[in-house]
Amino acid sequence: MVGAGIVGASCAYALTRAGVRVTVVDRGGVASGTTGAGEGNILVSDKEPGPELELALRSNDLWRNLDEECGGFEWDPKGGLVVAETPEVLDALTTFAETQRRHVPAADADAGAPPGAAGVVASLVPAADLREFEPHLAEGLAGGIHYPQDAQVQPMLAAARLLRASGARLVRTAVERFLVSGDHVTGVRTGQGDLYADAVVNAAGTWAGSFPQAPLPIRPRKGFILVTQPFAVPPVRHKVYTAAYVTNVASDAEGLETSGVIESTQAGTVLIGASRQRVGYDTAIDYTVLAKLAKQAVGLFPVLRTAQVMRAYAGLRPYSPDHLPVIGPDHRLGGLFHACGHEGAGIGLAPATAEMVTAQVTGGRPPVDPAPFAPGRFA
């Protein structure tokens, strides 16, 4: 396994439970990549009907199970609230939620389930009821949609707990390249020598496309987070975000895009996002972006006006050109599997990704159709 982020750790956990012996190689240690720079939401609310939503619904179930199995990573099934500034935006959100609700996961459709049977749960929250959900929300909003399935974990803890629970060996060194014999990968060359394996899983996140023998079009998409000092009673109960977030997630723009995304953590801090821009591997702090995020947050939650920011950081989301993760056997080399390119949803999608990779490595049947995620789709 190359990479000890949330995806590599989840894959290690699922593979070892299936009886596979796993060695994880990471140049920086657990969660030293994007997993250490994200928020930790497990969302169905922002997913369009289609393959990613299928993966998200499956992952949502699996995260619940993981909390029972190894826990200790601040699992919080708090739900999400998407708010609309105008009646027009509320209409658009309502239509979007309706299409999500009508989406039936393929496995359930095969079993003859009607639309909405085991899919997304979403309900309209009229303007007058918003304060029941979020007492500190600004006045004047047109309403919102409540998504009770949205949840949250602390991503670094989750990666660390899953990796530890897996029992996999962790080697801290850089993978320089894959070892290839004929058209088959036989291991990896690392800074500490060669490691041989029957299968290699590439879970190197934003850097997963850069191995010369099996390149992939994964690119960095930068995002900032502001973290407030802890509140005794955090003022935000759900993951709260504006409709612009859904549009930004689906956009291919290179330039800066921001939307108000606010939530509390179990430690009492409030996390404020979200920005997206494609500026290469640069993680420098840009105070104009931070100021914009802070202004949007105060616009939604005026109570944050006096909050002290404790820290701010940037992370690089692993962006793939069609916004779908890259999961499955490499189309050029045998013995190589990819689990990368999850962009802004890698925490949420990690368990279902791991389940799919495990089925592919061990010859099982993935519960979600793997075809839309196949690495060969870019060839």
Positions touching ligand FAD (CB under 6 A) are 2-8, 25-28, 32-35, 37-41, 174-175, 203-207, 223, 225, 273, 315, 317-318, 340, 342-348
Least Å distance, CB 208 to ligand FAD, is 7
How many angstroms separate the first and last alpha carbons of the chain?
A: 23
Nearest-angstrom CA–CA distance, 197 and 69? 28
Q: Which is nearer to ligand FAD, 11 or 137 (CB)?
A: 11
Q: Say if residues 133 and 81 touch (Cβ distance below 8 Å).
A: yes
Residue 31 neighbours by CB distance under 10 Å: 24
Q: Which is nearer to ligand FAD, 124 or 174 (CB)?
A: 174
Q: Is 140 helix (H, G, I), strand (E, B) or coil?
A: coil
Least Å distance, CB 360 to ligand FAD, is 17
Sign of the dihedral through C-alpha 377, 210, 207, 281: negative
Q: Which is nearer to ligand FAD, 90 or 352 (CB)?
A: 352
Q: Which is nearer to ligand FAD, 44 or 83 (CB)?
A: 44
Least Å distance, CB 129 to ligand FAD, is 26
Tokens 């994007």 correspond to 34
Least Å distance, CB 33 to ligand FAD, is 2
Q: Which is nearer to ligand FAD, 27 or 143 (CB)?
A: 27
Q: Which is nearer to ligand FAD, 141 or 188 (CB)?
A: 188
Residue 108 neighbours by CB distance under 10 Å: 16
Q: Which is nearer to ligand FAD, 93 or 354 (CB)?
A: 354
**Spatial CB neighbours of 36, under 8 Å, sequence gap ≥ 6:** 155, 156, 315
56's tokens: 């998200």
Least Å distance, CB 247 to ligand FAD, is 17
Least Å distance, CB 317 to ligand FAD, is 5
Alpha helices (H) along 119-234:
130-133, 155-166
**Spatial CB neighbours of 153, under 8 Å, sequence gap ≥ 6:** 40, 42, 63, 73, 74, 75, 76, 347
Least Å distance, CB 128 to ligand FAD, is 29
Nearest-angstrom CA–CA distance, 26 and 332? 24
